[in-house]
Amino acid sequence: MSGDNRILERSAAIRVSNLQFEWPSGQSVLQGCSLEVQAGEFCMLLGNNGSGKSTLLKILGGLLQPQGGQWAIEQPVGFVFQNPDHQLVMPTVGADVAFGLVDEHLSLAEIRNRVDDALAAINLLDLKRRPIYALSGGQKQRVAIAGAIARHCHVLLLDEPTALLDPDSQIDLVKRVRDLVKGRGLTALWVTHRLVELDYCDRAFLLEEGQVLDEGDPTRLKHRLQNQP
């Protein structure tokens, strides 16, 4: 069992091999789960409730420890939760983005530059001093992503980030993440159950009972799921 980046090949940003995870109750969630995401890809992870999507993402984000298998992910990693209120801790937009930089011991000028660059990247620079409570759900998710951008994260892990958003905000967010991945050379793995979001990714994985049942072209997987009885 390993989280060692040494098992990554040069082109892989995420590698998972035969991952096993079960809860203390004995309920098995991941059963030999394996997948790879190449550097610079925007991939999506689909599956029914209980298929292991969020569990896999939390293992990759260091939030859970599996019982078996190997995994590796390029560092640093940014994790975006389904509910942004679970990770936004400061009173204003700019302060929250800056909060993640505390451990880097940067100068005030460097912090300001990183915060402004990150907020500009997700088109929220004009809301830098806006209270977090005054933001919409979509804006809060963008602030969470800006925090990862400010920390110069190479990989974004997004756990159903559009689940609490209205349809227009859902599409806006997925487009922004796609543009960040392509414009900044990032890698993203995005958990979803909304088939429309497959229109914006490079590849997709279908999880069923803790294993990757299918992977590849998102349009093909979308049609497969749409035509299921």
Q: What is the pLDDT of residues 129-141, one digit of tens each?
A: 999 999 999 999 9
Do 163 and 60 reside in the same domain of the chain? Answer: yes
Model pLDDT for residues 167-213, shown as the tens digit of each residue: 988 999 999 999 999 999 999 999 998 999 999 999 999 999 999 99
Of the residues 151, 181, 196, which one is the last residue of a structural domain?
A: 151
pLDDT digit string, tens, across residues 108-155: 999 999 999 999 999 999 999 999 999 999 999 999 999 999 999 999
Domain containing 116 equals 88-151
pLDDT interval class at 8 (50, 70, 90): low
Same domain? 2 vs 62: yes
State which H helix or E strand residue 206 sits in.
strand 203-208
Q: Which of 151, 168, 192 is the last residue of a domain?
A: 151
Instruction: Check whether residue 13 and residue 65 sit in a common domain.
Output: yes
Q: Examine the fold and report which residue of 124, 151, 178 is the final residue of a domain before the chain moves on.
A: 151
Confidence label for 2 from pLDDT (cuts 50, 70 and 90): very low
* Number of domains making up the chain: 2
Q: Are residues 169 and 59 in the same domain?
A: yes
> Taking a C-beta distance cutoff of 8 angstroms, is the pair 17, 70 a contact?
yes
Amino acid identity of 190? W
Q: What ranges in the chain are assigned the alpha helix state H?
A: 53-60, 93-99, 108-121, 137-150, 167-184, 218-226
